[in-house]
Amino acid sequence: MKLLRAMREPLKYVQGKGALLKFEEEMGYMGKRWLFVCSNSGYKACHDQIEKSFSDADSYRRYEVFGGISSKGEIAKMQKIVEEDNIDAVVAVGGGSAVDTAKATAYYTGRHVVIIPTVAATDAPCTGLSVIYNDDGSFDKYLFYPTNPDAVMVDSQVIADAPVKFLVAGMGDALGTYFEGRASIRTESPSLEGTGITRAGMALAKLCYQTLRDYGSQAIAACENHVVTPALDAIIEANVYLSGVGADNVNCAAAHSFYNGLTALGGHSAPHGCCVAFGTLVQLTLEGATKEEFYDVQGFCREVGLPTTLAELGVMTDEQIRVIAENACVEGETIHNLAGDVTPDELYAAIVATNALGWKGEK
Ligand SMILES: [Zn+2]
């Protein structure tokens, strides 16, 4: 039987300057007892506004600041608090670690979950999966959930106040969405959630790319000056919603496999989204994109400060490129969603050629 097509997204998405002041008004239907799982900076950026949103005295709010990762131990600790304090809803306040810990905690305890991202750097807030680590920091597994988070709330001022590098990285992660989706639907590959790809998912991916092109550089200028403009709001929506929901409902392809291959080098520090941006250029090379399309996307990367050479990702040697190519092509990698099969040799060639075009300058 053919795969059933399906569409998934958060039940509610709220975004804007000062959104947190409406936290209770928007989310209060979930209950009276709240556990906020906060990163250190997330707590500082959001605590006061969230508190201001609560008018009634009879609700219970507990804030847990944690500096860790979404490890089994952290999740077990939060689960215990949910049960002991009889929590109705778990709220993530922070970046990827807080988001993944809160999602897993809510899932294991059957509670509502709200995501408040404090950076717009990845697809994590809107997707229906988490990355789980062992307590020693090593990768454990992807945990797939039956649904996406109940709600996502983004305060645009919080994103404007965060370092601009996160916004740029988020644009890199978002850049892959359309091209990876386009490759996946060509081969009728399943979505990230394992269902058939919908036209709706593809439309979001396309709008994501268009929004990046239309507003990317203006949004960066706003974020550098910590002000919220319509352009910044457009890019926040692209990075958090369009890219997250888009990727969930289409799939990844070579761009994300390039990132996964790069993590095999160990000790690298380039942000996820910056690797995905370069990986998108590599994918275009693999697909035999015309020079118009390749230079068009490469030019956009330059415009917003995303990498176009390997050196910008800290990759310096031929040996490293071989390791990336081998690891990006292992079984189960999304690079195999591309039409035809990609071998490590072919990927190696595409990485080398893409890097050379990065050094050549604009054509
Ligand atoms: Zn990503």
On the 0-12 / 13-18 / 19+ scale of CB atoms within 10 A, 339 is exposed
φ/ψ of 18, rounded to 5, equals 80, 15
Mean pLDDT of 219-238: 98
pLDDT for residue 322 is more than 60: yes
Mean pLDDT of 337-351: 95
What is the three-class DSSP state of 33? Answer: strand
pTM above 0.85, yes or no: yes
CA–centroid distance, 341 to ligand 1, in Å, is 22
Helices marked H in the chain — which ranges?
A: 23-27, 40-53, 72-84, 96-109, 156-161, 164-186, 199-224, 230-236, 243-249, 254-263, 272-286, 291-304, 318-328, 344-360
CA–centroid distance, 112 to ligand 1, in Å, is 24
Tell me the per-residue pLDDT of 53-85, one tens digit each, with 9 for 90 and over.
Answer: 998 778 999 999 987 889 999 999 999 999 999
AA identity, residue 167: L
CA–centroid distance, 57 to ligand 1, in Å, is 40
pLDDT for residue 362 is more than 60: no
- Between CA 61 and CA 140 the distance in angstroms is 31
Tell me the per-residue pLDDT of 330-342, one tens digit each, with 9 for 90 and over.
Answer: 999 999 999 888 9
Identify the band that residue 220 occupies on the pLDDT scale cut at 50, 70 and 90: very high
Lowest mean pLDDT among 125-139, 250-264, 343-357: 125-139
Tell me the per-residue pLDDT of 172-200, one tens digit each, with 9 for 90 and over.
Answer: 999 999 999 999 999 999 998 889 999 99
- Between CA 32 and CA 150 the distance in angstroms is 16
pLDDT value, residue 66: 85
CA–centroid distance, 122 to ligand 1, in Å, is 6
For residues 283 and 180, is the Cβ–Cβ distance under 8 A?
Answer: yes
CA–centroid distance, 328 to ligand 1, in Å, is 14
CA–centroid distance, 90 to ligand 1, in Å, is 24
Tell me the per-residue pLDDT of 4-49, one tens digit each, with 9 for 90 and over.
Answer: 999 999 999 999 999 999 999 999 999 999 999 999 999 999 999 9
pLDDT value, residue 363: 46
Mean pLDDT of 270-295: 96
CA–centroid distance, 101 to ligand 1, in Å, is 18
- Between CA 95 and CA 117 the distance in angstroms is 6
Share of the chain above pLDDT 90, in %: 87
Residue 42: both structure tokens together? 């997330």
Q: Which of residues 131 and 156 earns the better pLDDT score?
A: 156
pLDDT value, residue 239: 98
Cα 12-41-38 angle, rounded to 5 deg: 50
Please name the residue that has the structure tokens 């550098």: 224
Tell me the per-residue pLDDT of 106-123, one tens digit each, with 9 for 90 and over.
Answer: 999 999 999 999 999 989
CA–centroid distance, 173 to ligand 1, in Å, is 5
pLDDT for residue 361 is more than 80: no
As a whole number, the mean pLDDT across the chain is 95
pLDDT for residue 321 is more than 90: yes
pLDDT for residue 202 is more than 70: yes
